[in-house]
Structure 1
């Protein structure tokens, strides 16, 4: 009897699998204080934050400023990048609920224009687009480095010569083109442009007055542009060329994202459709239909998705057990992960903890190192060029080719990046945005190598020319002297 009582008490102390961790009370003042500390420590110029619980908006605010210096408010539209995938998935699921689309039927049945060079593409289903198991991948179709389309129709049309990386339904591969095809499917089935569909069926019904979706980087308003953080300084720069509608084109504000978060648990879709959207594929237990499934550091189950542009980032997260929803947008690029880091801190606040503030701007030491190397490289190039004549007296042609190796590396940086990133596609200028001070040093080293090589080669040519000239003069003088001696002897 005593043994059974002790056992019962012991089991009562063990949290059950459905146990909800204690949730802290999140006040707007605490959120403001954390975001402000973060900005002061990192130099983040602008951010927007939305926090909801159930059907209530806990907090929605803007912080800092846009690239033009305008104050960031709760109504300032910002880019949400790949968070857009959850909007595209929702649009498809609305068509599913209306009986116009079936998830497990081939895409081509709804979108005849979707053709690829690979015949296996005919078997790609709508679900496989949304859970990223279609077989399309960066390694087989270079969606970023190829000429960019202007419309969703163009995004699908350029697939006509593309191959698949794997058979449909066999491999999970995160690939933006999946969602561009899905958005085009929405256009064709609904009979209206994708932006018009989202406006009529999602944004207006939810009261998201400041939200829209765009096609390319050229359509970004000033408020949705961003910065690179170099040596602790936020430098406004245009987003590199790219197409993103369907996969990353949504613009939204803190206030609108609060409405979006509330709608995830408030009837925008049926409960069955919501479960479908949050059920991971059998090939990847973390990716569902436009959402990732994961846990907080404390083990609380969450549904989330991040978004990265080269000049801004975003993140959204739902905590189903507590009813919390959070969204963050930051106007610095993916290298710095400000939206994700802010989200981690806000989740800590929600769960009753105390978030840590970074000690300083991201990569400040790395930037300082490569800046110093760049200046040293310029100094060495000047010195090497000035001493090229002296160098030519002691060295030969075979010492020149190694100086051109940095130039070769600079030209081949994109395939090297793709190899290191397991086949990810990227443009050269996008690598510059990811690693600005490293690429500055590499480009400077490449230019320095070319300049010094040219100077030394010129010096070697001049020295060789003079040597040949001197040899010719010496031979001519020797012959003349012999002739004079011969005449004298005669």
Structure 2
């Protein structure tokens, strides 16, 4: 059932629920609170959790705001981290590499005999290329969100047989979840155990992450402790179930800010946990954090930028997350219980602001609520489209009188642009996936989660323009004289 929490132009201060008693070295909890308050007001997030680390120390972990059931978000509130999950899959593969069971530059087919794609070049796809996102498989060559969703990693490998390749393996970077579905299945086959069990025994338990797991299918497999997230429209955060999607290996990890802090420590501490447990070697950690080619910035489960920062974000349609590792040794993680939208780039902005704060840059002034402003603009456009459409319908008889005096082709030609809004509505998933998503696949239902106010405007504009076109064509045909029969 959908419920709404009206946020308004300025959200109230977020409720902070402290996490465990971690060291607070160099972290101003009040300044963190102010940044979170500014972010939630701007981006329309009911709840956020934050973790800050430096080297092998956890400096600050806390929850702010509330979940969709009204309970306070805390450092131990479980939330999906979406595509941050890829870093866990990459580490699992690297553990098998260090154990001598996998070779990064060996063909995937060596470890997954059932793996094949609809392109003979697929036989040359290597394990490294899956992790680098350079296999040649893209969202355009295998529409992983639009196609029927598998319910297991085994089924995901079968579905991948329909994939073609957009490029020669290893020559171009193209981000797609399919690569990490395949990598997770590789872990299952080589390790001889389910991927969720492998992560629990070899990653979560050694790191002391008791509240972490990974799932296959949303929303079916979500633990009951995980509340529904939110979508946002017209100033309201609305509770919504995540659409059905296969996520294991690519974006299926569920964790907490407290657990994720330990994950940040491993990344910044050369593969060592806080208690000295080694998950992977320093060399493997560096390899995951480093691009293998100057043509792209993506390493293995992590991206990099020109400032030497290692980062990744995660986007579900009802949750988002971000992780940021800085050369100074600080690590930042942010988990939020609202989805991505056109006027809200997820939790990356808050992660960047927290990074500036902990490195002595101070905190910024509260930003304008751009998510609300964008929706109000779209609401105004919707009303305008509705009013103009009604106006055109009312003027149809007078238009038909004028148009009836011209050659038929002229009014027909002038009416054709009325089909443009309908064409935009029908192609909206492709347009958003191409223009905003860089070629990513998205379904119409998922567009409605991401940009509900845009969908409403597009639908109203399409309906009014199509209705106007039909009404005018009918009126025009009624006014034109019937052709006389030949004598």
What's the TM-score bracket when you normalise by the shorter of the two chains?
A: 0.7 to 0.9
Whole-angstrom CA distance in 2 between matches of 1:461 and 1:294: 62
Q: Quote the residue 2:471 is aligned against.
A: 455
Displacement of 1:227 after TM fit?
A: 2.2
Displacement of 1:285 after TM fit?
A: 5.0
Q: How does 1:256-405 map to 2 (within 5 A)?
A: 256-264=259-267, 265=269, 266=272, 267-284=278-295, 286-294=297-305, 299=307, 301-322=308-329, 324-335=330-341, 336-396=344-404, 398=412, 399-405=414-420
Displacement of 1:157 after TM fit?
A: 0.5
Q: Quote the residue 1:27 is aligned against.
A: 28
| 8 Å CA contact 2:69, 2:227 repeated in 1 | no
Displacement of 1:85 after TM fit?
A: 0.6
Q: Quote the residue 1:113 is aligned against.
A: 114
Q: Quote the residue 1:233 is aligned against.
A: 236
Q: Alpha carbons of 1:468 and 1:172: their partners in 2 closer, same or farther (altered >3 Å)?
A: closer
Displacement of 1:110 after TM fit?
A: 0.5
Q: Quote the residue 2:71 is aligned against.
A: 70
Q: Quote the residue 1:20 is aligned against.
A: none
Moved more, 371-380 or 340-349: 371-380
Task: Provide Cα deviations, 1:152-196, integer angstroms capped at 9, x if missing partner.
Answer: 111111121221111111112222111110001011111211111
Ranges of 4+ aligned residues in structure 1 off by more than 6 Å: none
Task: Provide Cα deviations, 1:77-103, integer angstroms capped at 9, x if missing partner.
Answer: 111111111000011111112111111
Task: Provide Cα deviations, 1:118-154, integer angstroms capped at 9, x if missing partner.
Answer: 1111111111111112111123222222222221111
Gaps of 5+ in 1: 1-23, 473-490
Displacement of 1:344 after TM fit?
A: 0.7
Moved more, 29-38 or 245-254: 29-38
Displacement of 1:409 after TM fit?
A: 2.0
After superposition, the CA RMSD in angstroms is: 2.5
1:32 counterpart SS class:
helix
2:448 counterpart SS class:
helix
Whole-angstrom CA distance in 2 between matches of 1:358 and 1:166: 45
Q: Quote the residue 1:180 is aligned against.
A: 181
Q: Alpha carbons of 1:229 and 1:362: their partners in 2 closer, same or farther (altered >3 Å)?
A: farther
Q: Alpha carbons of 1:40 and 1:468: their partners in 2 closer, same or farther (altered >3 Å)?
A: closer
Q: Alpha carbons of 1:42 and 1:104: their partners in 2 closer, same or farther (altered >3 Å)?
A: closer
Whole-angstrom CA distance in 1 between matches of 2:438 and 2:325: 30
Whole-angstrom CA distance in 2 between matches of 1:28 and 1:415: 43
Task: Provide Cα deviations, 1:321-349, integer angstroms capped at 9, x if missing partner.
Answer: 43x22211112222212410110111011
Whole-angstrom CA distance in 1 between matches of 2:167 and 2:474: 53
User: Greater Rg, structure 1 or structure 2?
Assistant: 1
Moved more, 42-51 or 183-192: 42-51
Q: Alpha carbons of 1:377 and 1:41: their partners in 2 closer, same or farther (altered >3 Å)?
A: closer
Q: How does 1:142-221 map to 2 (within 5 A)?
A: 142-218=143-219, 219-220=221-222
Displacement of 1:417 after TM fit?
A: 3.6
1:334 counterpart SS class:
coil
Normalised by the size of structure 1, how large is the TM-score?
A: 0.84
Whole-angstrom CA distance in 1 between matches of 2:240 and 2:119: 39
Q: Quote the residue 1:100 is aligned against.
A: 101
Task: Provide Cα deviations, 1:402-451, integer angstroms capped at 9, x if missing partner.
Answer: 32221122112233345435533222233333333222111111111222
Task: Provide Cα deviations, 1:264-304, integer angstroms capped at 9, x if missing partner.
Answer: 32222122222222231125452111112235xxx5x3322
2:402 counterpart SS class:
coil
Displacement of 1:463 after TM fit?
A: 4.0
Displacement of 1:359 after TM fit?
A: 2.4
Q: Which has the higher helix share?
A: 1
Whole-angstrom CA distance in 2 between matches of 1:224 and 1:85: 22
Moved more, 307-316 or 107-116: 307-316
Whole-angstrom CA distance in 1 between matches of 2:350 and 2:90: 25
Moved more, 248-257 or 201-210: 201-210
Q: Alpha carbons of 1:41 and 1:173: their partners in 2 closer, same or farther (altered >3 Å)?
A: closer
| 8 Å CA contact 2:42, 2:371 repeated in 1 | no
Task: Provide Cα deviations, 1:5-63, integer angstroms capped at 9, x if missing partner.
Answer: xxxxxxxxxxxxxxxxxxx9213333233223432454321111011223322111111
| 8 Å CA contact 2:87, 2:302 repeated in 1 | yes
| 8 Å CA contact 2:41, 2:369 repeated in 1 | no
Q: Alpha carbons of 1:288 and 1:241: their partners in 2 closer, same or farther (altered >3 Å)?
A: same
Whole-angstrom CA distance in 2 between matches of 1:78 and 1:192: 25
Q: Alpha carbons of 1:354 and 1:308: their partners in 2 closer, same or farther (altered >3 Å)?
A: same
Count residues in correspondence: 442
Whole-angstrom CA distance in 1 between matches of 2:438 and 2:265: 37
Whole-angstrom CA distance in 1 between matches of 2:36 and 2:174: 34
2:440 to 417, 424, 427: 424
Gaps of 5+ in 2: 1-24, 273-277, 405-410
